[in-house]
Amino acid sequence: MKQVEILDTETKEQLCFLDKVEPHSTISDIKGLFHKSYPRRYPARQALTLHPQGNLLKDDEVLQNLPGGTTAKLYFRDLGPQLGWTMVFLSEYVGPLLIYLLFYFRVPYIYTPKYTFTSSPHPVVSLACACHSFHYIKRLVETIFVHRFSHGTLPLRTMLRNCVYYWGFSAWLAYYINHPLYTPPSYGERQIKYALFIFMLCEAGNFSIHYSLNSLLGEGPKCRRFPHPSKNPFTWLFFFVSCPNYTYEVGVWVSFSIMTQCVPVALFTLLGFVQMTIWAKGKHKAYTREFKDYPALRMPILPFIP
């Protein structure tokens, strides 16, 4: 039996002393015990380290593998309120969905009073609303029914910052698309039709990838495999790219920009592309490091571009 002493990282005072802890208990068990003494500090917001400036101990670390004699000394830091991934994604996606609709229906105080509750004479405006709403409804459906999230959480602050970004941007682009002085695309019907076609293809592709990634995780976190193309033609992008879901996502927003011919949408696309490229490169690096047989042809997000 071991004992565990938990100290505050900053004040170094003892917060908790755990008696009679099984040597094969994990950090996750210890966090649970700590939670009993401090009901408000649920495990997700506990950060335990071996030294005040040390690295965070992972939840599956076993007590007896940690240095120290019969009494293990751990340092605690509060990570602040945490939110589960489902909660995070729901709030990030419901916002843009509803906010765009406010602009589409031209609720009072957005545009000049004579345009309140009027509708645009351009069909592309209604189409854009349908596409934008479809995109976020699909994301909500995926969050609820498809994605399987790890135990990971996100700090409240980060989620608020993300919400401000998504909600703010969707308000900004919705303002222009639904504006009474909106100018439809220069190449008219043809531009809109082609853009819509690409949009739908990329949405289908994005969904296929999420579905395929989900079935990969379904076998449990212990099974480490990287995604492969399947019978679904949309997944054939896996031959060329590590993160085709991001590729398709960029495609969705590029086509939406072309469909609406609106600079704020293009700007949102650009920023999203930059962010997703960073994520894709990280994922790609993790894959290549972990799997020796990782296909050499695959690039992070764009085919043939490293």
Partner 1 sequence: MASGEEDGAVEEKETNNKKKRTKSAIAIAWLTVYNIAMTAGWLVLAVAMIRFYLQKGTHRGLYRSIARTLKFFQTFALLEVGHCAIGIVRTSVIVTGVQVCSRIFMVWFIASSIRQVQNQESVILFLVVWTVTEITRYSFYTFNLLNHLPYFIKWARYNMFIVMYPLGVIGELMTIYAALPYVRRSGMYSLRLPNTYNVSFDYYYFLIIVMLSYIPLFPQLYFHMLRQRRRVLHGEVIVEKDE
Q: Which two tokens stand for residue 177?
A: 């698309």
Binding site for partner 1 (CB under 8 A): 176-177, 179, 181-183, 186, 260-264
CA angle 232, 278, 162 (to 5 degrees): 95
Give 264 or 300: the residue with its C-beta nearer to partner 1: 264
Give 85 or 176: the residue with its C-beta nearer to partner 1: 176
Closest CA to 262 of 149, 161, 173: 173
Q: What is the tally of helices (H) and strands (E) in the chain?
A: 7, 6
Task: Quote the CA–CA distance of 74 and 291 in Å, as a whole number.
Answer: 34
To partner 1, the closest distance from the beta carbon of 37 in angstroms equals 35
Give 71 or 183: the residue with its C-beta nearer to partner 1: 183
Closest CA to 96 of 292, 253, 224, 202: 253
Task: Quote the CA–CA distance of 102 and 187 in Å, as a whole number.
Answer: 28
Give 177 or 237: the residue with its C-beta nearer to partner 1: 177
Give 179 or 283: the residue with its C-beta nearer to partner 1: 179
As a whole number of Å, the CA-based R_g of the chain is 24
Closest CA to 99 of 164, 170, 160: 170
Local structure of residue 6 (DSSP, 8 states): E
To partner 1, the closest distance from the beta carbon of 155 in angstroms equals 20
Give the rounded distance of the alpha carbon of 36 from its chain centre: 31
Give 16 or 262: the residue with its C-beta nearer to partner 1: 262
